[in-house]
Structure 1
Amino acid sequence: MAVVDSRTSTQPASVPRAKTAPGKLPGLAMAAAGVALSWGTHRLVPAVPMLTAAVVLGIAAAHLPGVRTRVRGIGKPGLTLAGKRLMRVGIVLLGLKLSLDDVLGLGWATVAMVVAVVAATFFGTLWLGRRLGLRGDQPLLIATGYSICGASAIGAVSEVSGSDEEDVATSVALVTLCGTLAIAVLPLLHHPLGLGDVAFGRWVGASVHDVGQVVATAQTAGPAALGEAVLVKLMRVALLAPLVAAVAMAVRQRRAAAGAPAEGKRPALVPLFVLGFLAMVALRTTGWLPGGALDAAAHTQELLLAAALFGLGSAVHLPSLVRTGGRVAALGLCSWAVVAGVSYGGVLLTT
């Protein structure tokens, strides 16, 4: 009897494990549906980037009656997986959009300008966010999103900082909102600021957050502006790798100073997905990949990031955001003013 009892006592513990295996499928299906809706929205309204639509639809799904219970219940494991794992793969493929030849073709003056814009925006936003008393890693994540490449950068840094999911979702929502506003606001300032098409493109590339938002904004001034905007923007993307490595080192030092146990998980100094990103940059630089392969990778990358951003958007809780909304909005507007102002001055000096 003792043998029978011991066997039967282990069965309840094994049942939950059997149920967790397919537990991520509903959320992944929701993310796939979100991608399809985002693609359809972009096709109907080309001015709305697909990635922006994905975040907005994710936020909407998390608050619509009848849908939110599924999103925050049965769908949560899969949506969390999409927001983390698919984000990593999308960031790796993002490296195929950049080659070292493109960076060198910008000229050292433009490269120095981009580095200065990123540094001023990052450290200025980080300092102000802490002064405003924002919770957790929100200052770090918002600073990263504004200075590098929006939600993709936030996802990358959150992987090594171990940031709270709510902090990540709030930061993504704020950066996406400001980047979306830039699509409407910046073209109105094109001629009043006295910028030619090339200069306007560089300003957009240096100041707008997400790559899709850069394209949507710069294309209003023609192909010359669009080409310059994408090159400058990808230069900012290239700075993602050293920033993630620096954050990982800071996290290590902080844990060591706090006396964290040695057996605790230590963030890699250069995470695997960042090494993958750099490997893709190197591969693109060789020129071995045909245009068709690059196009396929670009489409795949956009789909993966759309699924990841839908997942992150579904984690946004608007009532919680409202409680800190004033401070978060103040930080977002100030950071937007910094990145736009510093980049405008840099463009005037380099063109």
Structure 2
Amino acid sequence: MNKNQIKKITPGLLLSLGVAVLSKLLAIFVPKLGATTIAILLGIILGNTIFRQKELDAGTKFSESKLLEVSVVLLGATVSFQTIAQMGPKALIYILLLMTSTIAFIAWLGRKIGFNKQMSLMMAGGCGVCGSSAIASIAPTINADDEEKGQVITLVNLLGTVMMLTLPFLAKLLFPDQIMAQSALLGGTLQSVGQVVAGASFLGESVIQMSMLFKIMRIIMLTVVVLVMGRLVKNESNIETQNVKVNKKKLIPWYVLGFLLVCTLNSLLPLPEFLGNSAKFISGWFETIALAAIGLRLDLQKFIKEGPKFLIYGLASGTFQTVLAVILIYLIIR
């Protein structure tokens, strides 16, 4: 990173850090709410009132993405194979059923509402796998144009934000004191890693850890989803996709591989206590800063600007995904 890039991200990064510090201080007086929850709520308020300047965007985007990614890697130091083993094969069955059903339904619904195949598949992949990252990976394999990609990314992010702010309360209502069930709901439905961490932060550290494991299962499936969608469009339409090459190595984000590596090391060679505590401390701070940035970047006006057709599609998709997840949790996870 050169001097110009550092200068560009500094204002937004410092603002995100300031909101995080303030959130930590406020959490002393309202410990039940927690610093991470306060950070995202405070960020939403400040980002839609006082701090709307464009020069803050680069720094808040850096805080939201890079710091959260490092936080996810460090989270691996708090998880071991024992934790993963506790989830059992039922967690994988749950994710596979939820993902395939969600993707199939949302792709079908998009065509019924009147969206083209490309937009429907991107929406399905974004909701079913991992939000913007999935959409960016799917778009070139199905020859979607940039305008379509931008529209779907906006819709998926709006939907994810609504679900991020509502699902934690639904999880607490339906599955009180059931960490596995709460984690399955959030980790199995929320679109981006940031939304999973943010939503789970309403419910506690244990839910954050296990929700991320459910989420990582979905991300690992991205390679298969991209290849299947590319093949589907190639076989069922006249669009030429055979010249599009999928870089399978880049489909799994570096931080997922980093998380798995640190988790493996922690399982095979348990980390010294001071290293584990340090990783947990740094991860917690990076997470709080990232969530403050997510709040600061949330533009509530976008909810108003999107047309009713898009909003109906988003609402129907989120409702189906949530209802199906709850049903599968009762049938498989509990």
> TM-score by structure 1 length?
0.66
1:348 aligns with 2:331: yes
1:268 aligns with 2:246: no
Structure 1 residues 293 and 237, CA gap change in structure 2 (3 angstroms): farther
1:178 aligns with 2:160: no
CA distance in 1, matches of 2:127, 2:92: 20
Partner of residue 7, structure 1: none
Partner of residue 299, structure 1: 281
**Structure 2 counterpart SS, 1:181:** helix
Report runs of 4+ in structure 1 exceeding 6 Å deviation: 134-138, 161-167, 250-256
CA distance in 2, matches of 1:344, 1:50: 32
Q: Looking at CA atoms only, which structure, 1 or 2, has the larger radius of gyration?
A: 1
CA distance in 1, matches of 2:136, 2:27: 29
One-letter amino acid of the counterpart of residue 299, structure 2: H
Of 236, 241, 262, which aligns to 1:257? 241
Structure 1 residues 42 and 274, CA gap change in structure 2 (3 angstroms): same
What are structure 1's unaligned runs of at least 5 residues?
A: 1-16, 148-152, 191-196, 220-225
Query: For 1:197-235, what per-residue CA distance to the aligned partner results, in whole angstroms no more than 9, with x for missing partners?
Result: 67x443322112435644644x7xxxxxx97x6775344
CA distance in 2, matches of 1:256, 1:89: 38
1:89 aligns with 2:70: yes
Structure 1 residues 113 and 309, CA gap change in structure 2 (3 angstroms): same
CA distance in 1, matches of 2:97, 2:284: 28
1:207 aligns with 2:185: yes
* 1:276 CA displacement: 1.5
One-letter amino acid of the counterpart of residue 293, structure 2: G
Partner of residue 150, structure 1: none
Query: For 1:274-311, what per-residue CA distance to the aligned partner results, in whole angstroms no more than 9, with x for missing partners?
Result: 32222122123224213443333233223323333433
CA distance in 1, matches of 2:226, 2:273: 35
Q: For residues 211-290 of structure 1, what are the structure 2 equivalents within 5 Å?
A: 211=197, 213-214=199-200, 216-217=202-203, 233-246=211-224, 257=241, 268-290=250-272
Partner of residue 143, structure 1: 127
Q: For residues 18-29 of structure 1, what are the structure 2 equivalents within 5 Å?
A: 21-29=6-14
Contact 1:138 1:171 in 2 (8 A): no
Contact 2:108 2:120 in 1 (8 A): no
Query: For 1:256-288, what per-residue CA distance to the aligned partner results, in whole angstroms no more than 9, with x for missing partners?
Result: 82867x9xx998244433322221221232242
Partner of residue 4, structure 1: none
What are structure 2's unaligned runs of at least 5 residues?
A: 140-145, 191-195, 234-238
Contact 1:27 1:77 in 2 (8 A): yes
Query: For 1:143-173, what per-residue CA distance to the aligned partner results, in whole angstroms no more than 9, with x for missing partners?
Result: 15xx6xxxxx547547756997886576445
CA distance in 2, matches of 1:18, 1:290: 36
> TM-score by structure 2 length?
0.69
CA distance in 2, matches of 1:231, 1:28: 25
**Structure 2 counterpart SS, 1:288:** coil
Structure 1 residues 205 and 130, CA gap change in structure 2 (3 angstroms): farther
CA distance in 2, matches of 1:155, 1:291: 36
One-letter amino acid of the counterpart of residue 331, structure 1: G
Query: For 1:184-208, what per-residue CA distance to the aligned partner results, in whole angstroms no more than 9, with x for missing partners?
Result: 3344445xxxxxx67x443322112
